[in-house]
A and B are shown apart, each in its own frame.
Chain A
C-alpha cells in the first residue's frame, strides 16, 4: 500500500522517485487530521474547479472571479496561454482588464494547431465591439511568438488596437550577460524618457 502511494506521488510533475518516497513517509508520520484535510482539499478541488465559460480560466462557478467582477475594464482583453499566466499578471496589480486563456500555444511539431486552442472563442468574444484593445501576452518563446503572429493576422481586420507585451532586459540583471536576442528586442522596444 505504501508503495502504491509512492508510485502515485511519483507521477506528479517534478516529483522523482526519491522525493515521492520522502513525501510518502512524511504523510505516514503526519497527524491523521492533517492528511484527511489534504485529501479533502484534493477531492474538493477536483469536484468544484472547472473552466470559466467566458475566458477559459480556472473557476469555481460557471464564470471565474475576474469575469464576474463588475469593476474590471471590459474594453481591454489580455490573451494568455495558461491559467497560471493569469495568476502571474494578477500579481503585478497593473492590469485591470479581463483575460482570455488560449489553453497553450501553436506548436505544429506537437500536433497543436490554431484549431486546438480557444481562438474561435476569442473571435466570438470580440464580435460585439465592447473590446477596443487586445494585449497579446503569450510566452516570449518561439511558440508564443508564432501564436502572437497568427493572432495579429486574425485580429488586424477587426480594427482593434492589438498590442504585444514588451520584451527585453530583466529587472535586476547585468547588461553584459544579456543574450543578443533579448538585447536586440530591448533596443527595438526602447522608449522615450521624456514623457
Chain B
C-alpha cells in the first residue's frame, strides 16, 4: 500500500454511501486532497470525530485509483469544538473554509502559504479574543493576496500615485486616484479604507482602533472584491452573522 502522511485542515465533508464520507483537506505539503473516510459516520468510528470541518489533524493517506483513503488521523488542534459553540464564529469560519477550497484550485498542488494562513486564522477564531467578522475579513484579504489578487488600499491601483485616494473599484484592483477613477467606482469612507489596509497587513492594533461603525462597510468592500475575483459568489458568505 502506497502511504503518505501530512498535516491538514478539514475543509468540507460529503456523505458517501452507507457510512463513508468524502473529506476535502488542505494539507501542508500536498495542497488540496480529497480522500475517503471509511465508516466515519458510524458512532463507533475510530476517527470520525477527528475528520469534521475545522479540525487540524495529522493524517495518513493510502493512495487510491481515483480518491485516496484516510487510514489514520490524530488531532493537532480541535478547532471545531470552540468554533461550533458560537454561531457567529461558526458562520465566519465556514466562509473561511469555502474560500480556502476555492482559492486552492488544483488538487495535489502544494499551497503552503494558504495552509499556514488558514491554520493561523482558525486558531485566532477559535481563541475568541478577536471579533470573528474582522478575523474573517482579514483572512479573505490575505488569502486573496496569497492567491495573487492583492488589493491596493494605499496608492492608486492603476498609476501608483501615493494615497490616500477616495474611489474603490474591485475590477481595477483597489483604490483609484482622481484621474484613474472608473465609472461605477465606490467611495468608501476614509476610516473604512484605513480598516481595510490594516486587515490586509494584519495590523490588529490599527484595525481594532477604527470605530466599529465602519466594519460593515469594510465587509461589503471585501465581499465585493472576493466575488469579483472568484467570479462566483460564496455560498456561505450570505449566512455570515456580522
Partners in one complex: yes
Chain B interfacial positions (CB closer than 8 Å to A):
12, 17-18, 43-44, 46-50, 52-54, 75, 78, 80-81, 84-87, 90-91, 94-95, 97-98, 235-236, 238-240
Report the nearest B residue to A150, measured CB to CB: B87
Q: Are B239 and A113 in contact (CB under 8 A)?
A: yes
Report the nearest A residue to B237, measured CB to CB: A108
With A142-B52, A153-B87, A179-B46 known as contacts, the answer to whether A110 contacts B235 (CB < 8 A) is yes
Q: Are A146 and B90 in contact (CB under 8 A)?
A: yes
Interface size on A, residues (CB 8 A): 24
Q: Are B85 and A149 in contact (CB under 8 A)?
A: yes
Instruction: Kindly provide the distance from the CB of B145 to the nearest chain A CB, expressed in whole angstroms.
Output: 23
Say which residue of B17, B46, B52, B94 sits within 8 Å of A109 (CB atoms): B94
Residues of B within 8 A of A182 (CB): 49
Report the nearest A residue to B78, measured CB to CB: A181
Chain A contact residues: helix, strand, loop or mixed: helix
Interface string of A135-166 (1 = CB under 8 A from B): 00000011001100110010000000000000
Residues of B within 8 A of A141 (CB): 52
Per the bound structure, the CA–CA distance linking A109 and B100 in Å amounts to 12
Per the bound structure, the CA–CA distance linking A111 and B50 in Å amounts to 24
With A113-B238, A153-B87 known as contacts, the answer to whether A181 contacts B18 (CB < 8 A) is no
A180 on the interface (CB 8 Å rule)? yes
With A109-B235, A149-B85, A149-B90 known as contacts, the answer to whether A177 contacts B46 (CB < 8 A) is yes
With A170-B43, A179-B46 known as contacts, the answer to whether A108 contacts B239 (CB < 8 A) is yes
Per the bound structure, the CA–CA distance linking A153 and B50 in Å amounts to 26
Instruction: Kindly provide the distance from the CB of B235 to the nearest chain A CB, expressed in whole angstroms.
Output: 4
Which has the most chain B C-beta neighbours within 10 Å: A108, A110, A180?
A108
Per the bound structure, the CA–CA distance linking A66 and B17 in Å amounts to 30
Report the nearest A residue to B12, measured CB to CB: A109
A173 on the interface (CB 8 Å rule)? yes
A70 on the interface (CB 8 Å rule)? no
Per the bound structure, the CA–CA distance linking A9 and B236 in Å amounts to 34
Q: Are B90 and A109 in contact (CB under 8 A)?
A: no
Report the nearest A residue to B85, measured CB to CB: A149
Per the bound structure, the CA–CA distance linking A108 and B98 in Å amounts to 9
Q: Are A145 and B50 in contact (CB under 8 A)?
A: no
Residues of A within 8 A of B47 (CB): 179
**A90-133: which residues lie under 8 A (CB-CB) from chain B?**
106-111, 113
Say which residue of A110, A149, A172, A181 sits within 8 Å of B49 (CB atoms): A181
